[in-house]
Structure 1
Amino acid sequence: MDADEVITLPGGPVRPVDLSHPLGPTPSEPAPPHIARTSHADGAELWDHWYGIPAGALPLGAGFAGEVVTASTHAGTHVDAPWHYAATAEGAPAWTVDEVPLSWFIGPLVILDVTDLATGELVTPPLIDTRLAALDHRLAPGDVVAFRTGADRLWGREEFWEHGAGLGRDAVLHLVDAGVRLIGTDAWSLDRPYPRIGEEWRGTRDPERLWPAHFAGADRRYCQVEKLTRLDEVPPTGATIVCLPIKVAAGSGAWVRATALVPA
């Protein structure tokens, strides 16, 4: 199937839009993934080593290609589970990524454009309500809200993780209280950029400024999907997002192939 080719589902035709970055080495990751590749010739040598089957006996004269990936579960486009934020959430043990209900990762997608905000600017509840009103949309339980900061245009460059507006504690709780369980961003983090937070700490020593969006997850269960892309190619409302994370045992997060299904 060609990229973004229209497919027909029981509910009607949709155009899938890939919202994910590839998982692989990139200057945009402070701890970039590493991929060790096995060629078809390597695969043939493996069968010879294990079973004494020569390459010439294989149907194509070659074996199977493969990869061994070494990567943080928070590299590339990924989901953060409640366990990532704290050991407890809402007074109980926080869920790991394999414990979060799958229903949290599928839902109506609402994209809020905050590209007009400066890097490091805080997204507030009133701003969220204003942007929702402009879309004539009222949040409903199960909605997935993603913020388009424009940071994804820097993917592939070292400065990617230094850009984008971010949410604070009040904004996260405002969305969760409305029934939103998955919040997304095209930036490196749902919080404001890490370098900005570190720089402010040296000047203010204010604990409340330290990753308030993440730590809000200790009070209310929610997940976030970070490092999305192509949000500008999806309508603000009307699409469905599917972003099922890899089932990493007891994982604090997992890689995801986030996809928007846009009615065609």
Structure 2
Amino acid sequence: MTRLVCLTRPIDPELRSKIPPAMASMASVIAPLVDYHRPEAKGRERMMGLFCCEAHDLPHGEGWGEEILSDMSSHCGTHVDAPYHSGNLIEGKPARKIHEIDLQELFCPGMVLDMRPYERRNDAYTIEELQAAIDAVGRPIQAGDAVLLRTGQERFESLSAEWFAYPGMSREGTLFLARAGAKVLGTDAPGWDRPFPVMRKRFEETGEGSTIWDGHFAIQEKEAFIVQQMHNLAALPASGFMVGFFPMKLVGTSAAPARAVAFLDN
């Protein structure tokens, strides 16, 4: 019997009120604004208008429940980045958008790299640390794998200062995993690269453009799908499972919110 494990972070509109002022620009990737049309209120009014009826014509005097979402990024919550998120050209060819990715490509063997021993907060993991975590799994990365980084961010409350001070990936680390065969690169951190303030400070100090978003830009050299804001990686073994990422089929977009699910054979 196969057991399903949800690896998706809940999209909770209440989190909008908890975003630190310094990270206000991140609001649309945390949760949408939601206008709730309750059955006893706006939902009823909407149905009365559509059907030209009165409240007493509806069962229990109620209409339907409906929600209107706004200010929501295609990168909201747990989401899959299409290659196009990293630029127009990937491996010298036109980058694929989310609707151009076959669902079968996003259903693959998974392995969890336990990066917690390395405590790279506000910094990028080294290739040596990534290799040590792979060695601990007991098998190498194989072509088509989903490699999921358990960073330890599960310890912190969502949107806390500690949660935003996450460990990330560099160009070198990203290419190391992708060239080893990883097709999906996942993390339970808010982002794949180092935090934006960290990258900005590094650029201000060095003037080197190569330090800007270098983990994502590495996909231009080797195509892979990045999945961010994963959840519940502690429930998985190091390997021996399948994992599926099921993004909304948004036409022409660089990403889409997704339901990420692991399939474990008991």
- TM (normalized to structure 2)? 0.88
Alignment of 1:205-224 (within 5 A): 205-224=207-226
Aligned equivalent of 1:49: 49
| Aligned-partner Cα distance in 2 for 1:205–1:244 | 39
Shift of 1:217: 1.3
For residues 230-254 of structure 1, the C-alpha deviation after alignment (integer angstroms, 9 at most, x for no partner) is 1112111122211111111101110
For residues 156-215 of structure 1, the C-alpha deviation after alignment (integer angstroms, 9 at most, x for no partner) is 324255322211112222222222111000111111111211122221222221111100
Amino acid at match of 1:67: E
On the 8 A contact 1:160/1:188 being kept in 2, the answer is: no
Shift of 1:78: 0.8
On the 8 A contact 1:241/1:261 being kept in 2, the answer is: yes
On the 8 A contact 2:79/2:227 being kept in 1, the answer is: yes
Match of 2:158 among 152, 156, 159: 156
Shift of 1:36: 1.0
Aligned equivalent of 1:229: 231
Q: Which structure has more helix as a fraction of its residues?
A: 2
Unpaired runs of 5+ in structure 1?
Answer: 1-12
Amino acid at match of 1:39: R
Shift of 1:226: 0.1
Aligned equivalent of 1:10: none
Shift of 1:103: 2.1
| Aligned-partner Cα distance in 1 for 2:53–2:47 | 6
On the 8 A contact 1:24/1:34 being kept in 2, the answer is: no
On the 8 A contact 1:124/1:171 being kept in 2, the answer is: yes
> Is structure 2 residue 4 aligned with structure 1 residue 16?
yes
| Aligned-partner Cα distance in 1 for 2:208–2:139 | 35
Identity of matched residues, %:
29
SS in 1 for 2:113: strand
Shift of 1:153: 3.3
Aligned equivalent of 1:91: 92
Amino acid at match of 1:113: D
Unpaired runs of 5+ in structure 2?
Answer: none
Aligned equivalent of 1:114: 115
- TM (normalized to structure 1)? 0.89
| Aligned-partner Cα distance in 1 for 2:162–2:49 | 44
Aligned equivalent of 1:80: 81
SS in 1 for 2:116: coil
Aligned equivalent of 2:147: 145
On the 8 A contact 2:44/2:64 being kept in 1, the answer is: yes
SS in 1 for 2:243: strand
Amino acid at match of 1:36: D
Q: How has the CA–CA distance of structure 1 residues 14 and 155 changed in structure 2, closer, same or farther, with 3 Å as cutoff?
A: farther
Amino acid at match of 1:97: I
SS in 2 for 1:244: strand
Aligned equivalent of 2:177: 175
SS in 2 for 1:123: coil
Q: How has the CA–CA distance of structure 1 residues 162 and 48 changed in structure 2, closer, same or farther, with 3 Å as cutoff?
A: closer
SS in 2 for 1:261: strand
On the 8 A contact 1:107/1:142 being kept in 2, the answer is: yes
Amino acid at match of 2:5: V
Shift of 1:155: 4.3
Aligned equivalent of 2:167: 165
On the 8 A contact 2:144/2:182 being kept in 1, the answer is: yes
